[in-house]
């Protein structure tokens, strides 16, 4: 069945490729009320890391550790949106965007993660929110986009300790209290799967914990257990916060609470039963790991059977709290891979990490042929039909919940040999958004998927975590050599035309 669907969607993809450059989709093609926006995060955008009482975060520590970032950079300045948000909001307004997704830095509100509130942090986000609303742009606020206060990492190893649930809930409560009269769309967590794996399994992101090859790469951690513990505490934290919002604020503020999940689409490498089943396991260990408890009250059965006692359990009360705690499903989708059954666990046993538990290998190649054209990032292959397949999967498995595409985009290289004039000619990005949006539209109109919004990553080039400044995802070019000046790429004009045509 999965293979037949894959073939069908591949045919759709071919047709869209033929039509892409002549596509006449625009805002008017989408249902009334469909939201278009851009997305960002605090550590990648704000800078000003030592200003106005902000506390240190695990990413401050990690990015200043030798060899962790590709170009040895950090987010101390980023693109300085802390000081330039008024100008940046005007850029969004000029494009015709409806909304802006940004994150609040926990350590600006509570510099030590808990305890005394930092009023300067409250004032800053009030100013940002008010400036957005004054321009008719709806704020979509992420509470946690990976920047854990370093004080909580030092105090009790952060997400590995259940104490984090109480502290995160207190932080979220203050945000609801201070900003909820104007913010109606809350995202508790951004990509919990990413920071559980990258931060606690392979150690490539903050806080850089792993046990791969007997701690050769990380000073501390247990790759076989810690990602599951972190994920468990994240789910309980989300559910606790959603419960607080519903009981204390929803009646007056009328907002919604969701999570932004990172989700690749996977297609079977062959039509063999083993590969088809491995494809489902790959999805279980990526997406199902986090969304199944929120819809069904427990982890996927494939995880229970394969991970065993290393996978935490929910009490009856916890399962009841977690189940049904989502008002909408946020999807950060960029690419599609093939999945095949993993017949050998030699590498997995050697590494002793959670990635081997699924028994599935996922790669963007089949018989040496890539699944699609590659962007700059080594992991990002352009496969537009994957987003339509994913929307249908969510519709069928989870009862067609309200979905918002909270991130979608592609990057170009940041090369000293590419002039600004040439860097602004981003036809590949235009084609990417055109083709992915065409597939989103098809999922809505032809397949009946309940998709209500699309946020492009990102408004402008920014600091891209372990890739530093080597990667440019922005619609606006940022000149890092000249006071962070913003220049519109051709994709800005494309979006402007798209959003003003009906």
Phi, psi of 500, rounded to the nearest 5 degrees: -100, -5
Residue 46 among the catalytic residues: no
DSSP state, 54?
P
* Backbone φ, ψ for residue 335 (5° rounding): -155, 170
Q: Which residue has the tokens 């742009």?
A: 137
Q: Are strands 365-366 and 369-370 parallel, antiparallel or unpaired?
A: antiparallel
Distances 138 to 6, 98, 268 between C-alpha atoms, Å: 36, 6, 39
Q: Is 116 a known active-site residue?
A: no
Question: What CA–CA distance (Å, rounded) separates 64 from 206?
Answer: 11
Distances (CA, A) of 254 to 36, 251, 259, 373: 21, 6, 17, 43
Catalytic site residue from 191, 267, 318, 464: 191
Give, in degrees to the nearest 5, the angle at Cα 216 between 214 and 218.
95
**CB-CB contact of 475 with 488 (8 Å):** yes
Calpha distance 122→88 (Å, rounded): 20
Helix (H, G, I), strand (E, B) or coil at 206: coil
d(CA 480, CA 363): 34
Map 207-253 to HEC letters.
Answer: CCCECCCCCCCCCCCCCCCHHHHHHHHHHHHHHHHHHHHHHHHHHHH
Q: Which residues are catalytic?
A: 191, 407
């Amino acid at each position: 069945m999965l293979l037949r669907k894959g073939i069908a969607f591949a045919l759709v993809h071919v047709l869209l490729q033929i039509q892409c450059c002549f596509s006449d989709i625009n805002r008017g093609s989408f249902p009334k009320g469909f939201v278009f926006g851009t997305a960002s995060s605090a550590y990648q955008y704000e800078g000003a890391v030592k200003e106005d009482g902000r506390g240190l975060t695990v990413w401050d520590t990690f990015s200043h550790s030798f060899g962790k970032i590709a170009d040895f950079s950090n987010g101390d300045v980023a693109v300085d949106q802390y000081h330039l948000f008024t100008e940046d909001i005007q850029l969004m307004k000029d494009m015709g965007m409806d909304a802006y997704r940004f994150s609040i830095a926990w350590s600006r509100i509570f510099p030590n993660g808990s305890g005394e509130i930092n009023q300067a942090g409250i004032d800053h986000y009030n100013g940002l929110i008010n400036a957005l609303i004054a321009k008719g742009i709806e704020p979509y606020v992420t509470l946690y986009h990976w920047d854990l206060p370093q004080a909580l990492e030092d105090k009790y190893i952060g997400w590995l300790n259940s104490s984090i649930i109480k502290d995160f809930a207190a932080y979220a409560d203050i945000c609801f209290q201070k900003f909820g009269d104007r913010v109606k769309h809350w995202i508790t967590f951004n990509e919990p799967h990413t920071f559980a794996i990258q931060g606690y399994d392979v150690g490539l992101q903050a806080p850089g914990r792993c046990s791969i090859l007997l701690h050769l790469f990380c000073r501390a951690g247990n790759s076989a257990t810690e990602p599951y513990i972190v994920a468990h505490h994240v789910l309980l934290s989300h559910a606790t916060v959603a419960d607080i919002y519903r009981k204390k604020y929803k009646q007056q503020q009328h907002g919604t609470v969701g999570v932004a999940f990172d989700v690749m689409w996977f297609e079977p490498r062959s039509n063999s039963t083993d590969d088809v089943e491995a494809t489902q396991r790959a999805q279980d260990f990526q997406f199902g790991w986090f969304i199944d408890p929120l819809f069904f009250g427990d982890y996927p059965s494939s995880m229970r059977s394969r991970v065993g006692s290393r996978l935490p359990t929910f009490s009856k009360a916890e399962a009841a709290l977690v189940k049904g705690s989502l008002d909408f499903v946020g999807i950060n989708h960029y690419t599609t891979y093939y999945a095949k059954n993993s017949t050998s666990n030699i590498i997995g046993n050697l590494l002793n990490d959670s990635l081997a538990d699924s028994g599935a290998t996922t790669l963007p190649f089949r018989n040496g042929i890539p699944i699609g054209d590659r962007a700059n990032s080594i992991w990002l292959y352009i496969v537009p039909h994957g987003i339509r397949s994913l929307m249908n999967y969510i519709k069928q498995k989870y009862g067609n919940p309200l979905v918002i595409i909270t991130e979608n985009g592609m990057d170009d290289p940041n090369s000293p040999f590419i002039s600004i004039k040439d860097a602004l000619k981003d036809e590949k990005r235009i084609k990417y958004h055109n083709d992915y949006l065409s597939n989103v539209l098809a999922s809505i109109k032809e397949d009946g998927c309940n998709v209500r919004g699309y946020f492009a990553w990102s408004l402008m080039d920014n600091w891209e975590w372990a890739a530093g400044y080597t990667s440019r995802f922005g619609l606006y070019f940022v000149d890092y050599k000249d006071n962070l000046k913003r220049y519109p790429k051709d994709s800005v004009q494309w979006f402007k035309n798209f959003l003003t045509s009906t």
